Amino acid sequence: MGVKDTILIVDDETDLLKGLKRTVDMEMDCQVLIAENSFDAIELIKNEPIDVVLADICMPEMDGIALLHAINDLNQFVTVIMMTAYGTIEMAVEAIKAGAYDFIQKPFDEERLIHLLKKGIELNRLVRENARLIEKVHEKESFENMVGKSEAMLKVFRTLQMIAKSDVTVLILGETGTGKDLAARAIHSLSKRRHRSMVTVNCPALPENILESELFGYRKGAFTDAVSDKRGLFEEADGSSIFLDEIGDLSIPLQTKLLRVLQEKEIRPLGDTNVQRVDVRIIASTNQDLEKKMEDKLFREDLYYRLNVVKLTMPPLCEMKEDIPLLTEHFLKKSARELDVTAKKITPEAISYFLARDWHGNIRELENTIRGIMAIAQGDVIDIKDLPFKENQGSFAADDLDISQPYKLLKERMIEEFSKKYVTGLLKKTRGNVSQAAHKSGIKRQSFQKIIRRYRIKTDKFRV
């Protein structure tokens, strides 16, 4: 037997309230609650699963319009119907504009009232079902770049769904290339903060003095170049989430300041004597052993335990090899879209080689490898001969390597050959259009041109 729909009737006239309850009880199969004022109604809405509220507009202390606004703030899924007396039609119209479903004028026909309440229940069911479907689609979209059916990945998915709904601080651990950034985005995307963009900070990418001003902001005159106030990233993330990528690289002074944010929920911009409160959910990641860094006095213990409220470990690719065929198919389609090339299929022999290979760079290495192959492979099918690291293939072949040569020299030669093949392949596809080729490669045009100049690649011969 399913849970019954619940109607809450609110009116300051006790006799009318009891009469309405008896009528609805007899005519409808639902639970009916009553409240003699708006304050009692608000408490019921806070504690009970209310579907429809039937409320009088004219009530002392807190009228129906104020109650409607309070309901909208508490629960957007409650359907509100207003009861109006003679002379309050203007207020009823105001209530409709404020979000009420409909109104009924006193003295009202009971048949009309029951019909309106049933329509309100029906609307409420539709709204809730629509919200549930939207949430389901949103959840699917949140995981669209996270592919896998292995037990290791299913465990990650379950953990993400459990922790996303709360506001707890999350520490994501894992080797380079395991998708820690994707996990952080999924946590934010599934959270109640998803309506605001997540702020991402790559901690090792900036020098300490610049990173501090970026995180916490500064006031005009805080230092020589501070010609105006600047909002910090924590302030930008107020009401949202902030992702601190590779937090193990933070210096001790910055760790101390971050600890204050976690403990006090406040920041102090550089050059400011006042603190500023922020409502930010912190998601951090690292590929380092923070416990070892604590032993070496390179990471604060109190910060570690503040960050490590919930720990999520991303599995390396060697622990989820059964997902390699799925991941390969996913990256083939993704690369085709991004490079604007025809989608290609891959032979079972090539997949078998992928399964047998060690992926020290994890999922990121697999993705980059497939992207490179897609950029230069001829035909509609990728075979084992198209793999750049396959044994017995050209100068990439292990048997052909002159191991008497220095490692650095051989490495540079292999990088040169790959770069030439990759760039010329893209230039062929774009008919010598350097800007388009650079865009497809995912690197800046200036960097792409540097590669062309370094290896003396002639772009003219590709132009039609």
Please report the DSSP string for 170-202 in residue order: EEEE--TTS-HHHHHHHHHHTSTTTTSPPEEEE
Output the pTM of the full model. 0.59
pLDDT tens-digit profile of 362-390?
999 999 999 888 888 888 898 888 887 64
Tokens standing for residue 446: 């200036």
Check whether residue 72 and residue 14 sit in a common domain.
Answer: yes
DSSP H or E stretch at residue 450:
helix 445-454
Check whether residue 305 and residue 163 sit in a common domain.
Answer: yes
**Pair 217, 260: CB distance under 8 Å:** no
What residue type is 238 in one-letter code?
A: D
Of 389, 368, 418, 441, give the one whose Cα is nearest residue 177.
368
The answer to whether residue 242 is domain-embedded is: yes
What DSSP letter does each residue of 197-247 carry, written as one string? PPEEEEGGGS-HHHHHHHHH-B-TTSSTT--S-B--HHHHTTTSEEEEETG
Which one of 79, 102, 135 terminates a domain? 135
Which one of 315, 344, 363 terminates a domain? 315
Query: 104: domain CATH number?
Result: 3.40.50.2300
Tokens standing for residue 258: 């971050």
Check whether residue 205 and residue 120 sit in a common domain.
Answer: no
Number of alpha helices (DSSP H) and beta strands (DSSP E) in the chain: 18, 14
Least confident of 39-43, 114-118, 225-229, 324-328: 225-229
Check whether residue 91 and residue 155 sit in a common domain.
Answer: no
Helix (H, G, I), strand (E, B) or coil at 122: helix
Residue 416: how many CB atoms within 10 A of its CB?
14
List of residues 6+ apart from 223 with CB closer than 8 A: 270, 271
Find the domain containing 35 and state its range.
6-135
Residue 347 CA, chain-centre distance (Å), reads 34
Which one of 315, 331, 366 terminates a domain? 315
HSE-up of residue 435 (Cα within 13 Å, Cβ side)? 0
What residue type is 438 in one-letter code?
A: A
Bridge-partner residues for 285, per DSSP?
A: 172
The answer to whether residue 325 is domain-embedded is: no
What residue type is 417 in one-letter code?
A: E
Query: 197: domain CATH number?
Result: 3.40.50.300
Tokens standing for residue 14: 């006790």
Of 163, 202, 201, 160, give the one whose Cα is nearest residue 182.
160
pLDDT tens-digit profile of 416-442?
778 888 888 888 888 888 888 888 887
Check whether residue 16 and residue 98 sit in a common domain.
Answer: yes
Number of domains in the chain: 3
Sign of CA dihedral 300, 303, 305, 308: negative
Q: What is the mean pLDDT of the chain?
A: 85
pLDDT tens-digit profile of 303-350?
999 999 999 999 999 999 889 998 999 999 889 988 888 888 998 888
